[in-house]
Amino acid sequence: MKRFLIGTAATALMALSSVATAADLKMSHVRPQDATIDVELRAFSEAVAEATGGDVTINIFPASALGDYTTVQERVSVGAIDMATQPAATAADRRMQISSFPYLANSWEEARAAYGPDGPVRTVMADLYAEQDITMLAAYPVYFGGISLNTDPVNPGDPSQSNGIKVRVPGIKSFQLTGEALGYIPSPIPFSEAFTAIQTGVVDGVIGSGAEGYYASFRDVTKAYIPANTHFEVWYMIISNGSLAELDAEDQEALKAAAAEFEAQRWTVAEADQGKWEQRLVDELGTNLVELTPDQLAAMAAKVREEVWPIVLEDVGAEWGQGILDQIGK
């Protein structure tokens, strides 16, 4: 009887230990259900569940269901939300503007060198997240950004002239200044209010996203799309340090390995994915895709680098920011 009771107690302790290591994590992202990132994150969730033997379950919450991405980052920082895959919120640290620095990369090769594994931007972003008690698990390359308009473009390839078109921009200084440099009238509006602002004529377009983003969230108000390569859009898969620490060492490693594979796979398809969404705007919505020449793109980049970079560098810390640009060769 004594041996039976000891054995029963041991079994019960093992069961309790197993329950204690299981984790049910919430993951937020900004796109609607069934958008590209939603599909890919659900596949990631399945991969993590398989790799951890069911110990780690990741529930996906699309369309900012857990809050605007700025709020979500704050809540991940304090452990109120476990995970997110989303743009960096610069309200918490202005230095995070380095991630969306305008015209930082001219090509996908340059983008991967800056934002890919061991790239200087990716590395510094991981450090900035760490200061907020957040672990960056992966970088997610999305696209080169462009300009969506609900009106006819005016001098779209000539940044030397003001076009009088008012556009929504994120509440990030680099986007506001870029809009001005390219001849637009920028209006900082929260993402959640942007569609209504265009629909009601408060603004006539958007700067801050790319073809996939405009198709997903602004398809009914995108009459023209200008692939101006305004910035390279990267989202980050992040997890609260507290949520990560609750996993045992084996599950932590499995989660990190799955995130690394998630990132690696994305780099193989991101460029083609951008072209696919640009074409869908044309084929499905009849959007006017405005072709820009290499000279026009070079003129836009040169003007922004001359007028915007010095101001944004001062905002993030000139010496700190220039040190990163020097690593990229800019």
List the strands of the sheet with 134-144, edge to edge: 56-61, 23-29, 83-86, 232-240, 134-144
Which pLDDT score is estimated for 172?
87
Interatomic CA distance for residues 316 and 51, integer angstroms? 39
Q: Is the pLDDT of residue 1 over 70?
A: no
Give me the mean pLDDT over the 231-243 stretch.
98
Q: Could you tell me which of 52, 281, 310 has the C-alpha nearest to residue 174? A: 310
Q: What percent of the chain has pLDDT over 90?
A: 89
Please give the residue that has the higher pLDDT: either 204 or 17.
Answer: 204
Q: Is the pLDDT of residue 10 over 80?
A: no
Q: In terms of C-beta density within 10 A (0-12 exposed, 13-18 middle, 19 or more buried), how is residue 226 classed?
A: buried
Question: What is the rounded average pLDDT for all residues in the chain?
Answer: 93
Give me the mean pLDDT over the 158-175 stretch.
94
Dump pLDDT digits (tens) for 31-53: 989 999 999 999 999 999 999 99
Give me the mean pLDDT over the 2-21 stretch.
48
Distance from CA of residue 36 to its chain's centroid? 13
Dump pLDDT digits (tens) for 102-143: 999 999 999 999 999 999 999 999 999 999 999 999 999 999
Q: In terms of C-beta density within 10 A (0-12 exposed, 13-18 middle, 19 or more buried), how is residue 110 classed?
A: middle
60-96 burial, b at 16+ Cβ within 10 Å, e below that, comes to bbbbbebbbbbbbbbbbbeeebbbbbbbbbbebeebb
Interatomic CA distance for residues 178 and 106, integer angstroms? 16
Which pLDDT score is estimated for 175?
94
Cβ distance 27 to 238 under 8 Å? Answer: no
Q: Is the pLDDT of residue 167 over 50?
A: yes
Dump pLDDT digits (tens) for 258-270: 999 999 999 999 9
Cβ distance 231 to 103 under 8 Å? Answer: yes
Phi, then psi, of 239 in degrees rounded to 5? -140, 140
Interatomic CA distance for residues 64 and 70, integer angstroms? 10
Q: Which residues pair with 49 in a beta bridge?
A: none
